Amino acid sequence: MTPVERWSAVLSRQKPDRIPLFWRATRETLIRVKEYLGISENSELFERLHIDEIVVVFPDYAGPKVKEGYDFFGCGFKDISYGAGVYSECVYHPLAEFETLQEIKRNYKFPSIDWFDFSVIRKQIQGKEHLPIWGGGMEPFLRYTQLRGLEMAMMDLVEKPDIVDYCMEQIFQLYYKITEGIYQQIPGKVLLTMVAEDFGSQESLLFSPGCIREFFLPRMKKMMDLAHQNGAYVITHSDGAIRDIIPDLIECGVDVLDPVQWRCKNMDRASLKKDFGEKICFHGAVDNQYTMPFGSVEEVKKEVIENIKILGENGGYFLGPCHNLQVITPPENIVAMYETAYYEGKQY
């Protein structure tokens, strides 16, 4: 099977030749693993570890010039070292100074769909039609936290819901139009569209179910409906302990749940598979809190086999790390994860 045939088979609940494997890691980790294997190109790494390469399409930005270190929303970013890795963090929040919705409307211009060049989309998939193509989607509250700052954004949900609703709608409308534009450029080619929001902490939901249903789910459903109308499947990324909201996500139309952080409270793999496995697929689930960075090679192999047995029973599972592999992860653990999954996944 080609990678897109393999992914399509799992999504449509048919039997693939093996379990699909995907890559998710920081840039530093990618470099370290390639050095460990004596490999120079990403394509060599994917071939060596039997990873299905994914093609992500997005229009080119062609709007007003942005300052270095800023994005088209006016948010400023800076590379910050945490000792065990360097991460680009949002350090300037253009809407943080405003107290009222009226101030925002007077002083801030949201990006326009006219600022994007969609003519590049077809070129992005040329020669890659045999690979899974991901395109479109959104994560509007993440963008809102960058515009307002995380602490203020969380307080706004209670104290200034009018600002939240207005800004979230502007963000949603932009990404809805971007997603429409992608589908129009390559009709029927997009396999997966990411409709994401991080709802969970280690122990519980970050927001009340009522808050999620008011501010998040209606727009997520509209985007999911758009994806389905254009023949794409929906993958939803939401970290943490999110079991209580999974039925709502299914009702909205999610097809694939990512990343399945099973060490979080009430995220037991067997229970998730039993209760939701006939309605959604699972994507990820190899633990990145203990097993991958701190476990032994044997512990990695054991967990991979468990995941395939539990989440892969009767299909519906894509195997990979539950979040970005960090640079502290031993390369031998990463190799063990993919090699074990490749050989054990043939029984899938």
| CATH code, domain with 240 | 3.20.20.210
Q: Count the domains in the chain.
A: 1
CA distances from 127 to 45, 122, 130, 270 (A): 19, 10, 8, 39
Asked, for residue 80, whether it belongs to a domain, the answer is no
263, part of any domain: yes
In sequence order, what are the residues at sequence separation of 6 or more whose Cβ sits closer than 8 angstroms to the Cβ of residue 232? 135, 136, 183, 190, 191, 192, 193
Q: In angstroms, rounded to a whole number, what is the distance separating the alpha carbons of residues 150 and 251?
A: 28
Question: Which three-class secondary structure state does DSSP give residue 138?
Answer: strand
Phi/psi at 300 (5° precision): -65, -50
Interatomic CA distance for residues 286 and 261, integer angstroms: 8
Beta-strand pair 60-61/116-117: antiparallel
Q: Let me know if residue 25 belongs to a domain.
A: yes
Q: At 346, is the secondary structure helix, strand, or coil?
A: helix
- Domain range for 280 is 3-64+117-347
Q: Show pLDDT as tens, one digit a residue, over the chain (348 residues).
A: 999 999 999 999 999 999 999 999 999 999 999 999 999 999 999 999 999 999 999 999 999 999 999 999 999 999 999 988 899 999 999 999 999 999 999 999 999 999 999 999 999 999 999 999 999 999 999 999 999 999 999 999 999 999 999 999 999 999 999 999 999 999 999 999 999 999 999 999 999 999 999 999 999 999 999 999 999 999 999 999 999 999 999 999 999 999 999 999 999 999 999 999 999 999 999 999 999 999 999 999 999 999 999 999 999 999 999 999 999 999 999 999 999 999 999 877
Structural domain includes residue 163: yes
In a domain, 84, yes or no: no
Largest CA distance in the chain: 60
Q: Is the pTM of this model over 0.75?
A: yes
C-beta of residue 42 within 8 angstroms of C-beta of residue 29 = no
Residue 83 counted as domain residue:
no
CA triple 252-133-33, angle to 5 deg? 110
Considering the domain boundaries, does residue 338 fall inside one? yes
Is position 126 within any domain? yes
